[in-house]
């Protein structure tokens, strides 16, 4: 619901942000608990989105401190415009490749959520 509301508020532009949660690497489970909206320095267009970073690091750090390190960054989310599939585009897969390389360097999987119209969504992740 939160991703849908963020998406609707920014239409006709795409938007996005980060996914918060916890990885249980032993059980291979990711618990997603929240998402954050697009930082103010993000670039949003009808067919493209580039997430900014203004204030984001501090926001994620504060959440980690309040939860004693239990909740943190687990991935990225973004929206697709009306009349577009929620399947990842070529640009999405390129961004996912970057995300995957950076998360794997930490020993973690990469997760990307794409939200579209009519409550459609898809996750991009490697198992």
Q: 91-123, pLDDT tens digit by residue?
A: 999 999 999 999 999 999 999 999 999 889 998
Of 58, 99, 54, 63, nearest to 78 by C-alpha is 99
**pLDDT-flagged residues of the chain (< 50):** none
CA distance 51 to 77: 10
* pLDDT for the residue numbered 24: 95
Q: Which residues pair with 32 in a beta bridge?
A: 21
For residue 98 the two structure tokens come to 């970057």
Model-level pTM?
A: 0.93
* pLDDT for the residue numbered 127: 61
């Amino acid at each position: 619901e939160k991703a849908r509301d963020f998406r609707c508020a920014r239409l006709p532009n795409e938007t996005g942000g980060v996914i918060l949660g916890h990885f249980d690497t032993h059980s291979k489970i990711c618990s997603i608990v929240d998402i954050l909206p697009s930082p103010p320095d993000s670039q949003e267009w009808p067919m493209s989105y580039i997430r900014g970073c203004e204030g984001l690091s501090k926001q994620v750090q504060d959440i980690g401190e309040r939860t004693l390190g239990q909740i943190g960054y687990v991935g990225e989310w973004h929206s697709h415009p009306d009349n577009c599939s929620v399947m990842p585009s070529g640009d999405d897969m390129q961004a996912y490749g970057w995300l995957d390389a950076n998360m794997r360097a930490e020993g973690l999987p990469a997760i990307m959520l794409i939200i579209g119209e009519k409550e459609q969504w898809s996750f991009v992740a490697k198992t």
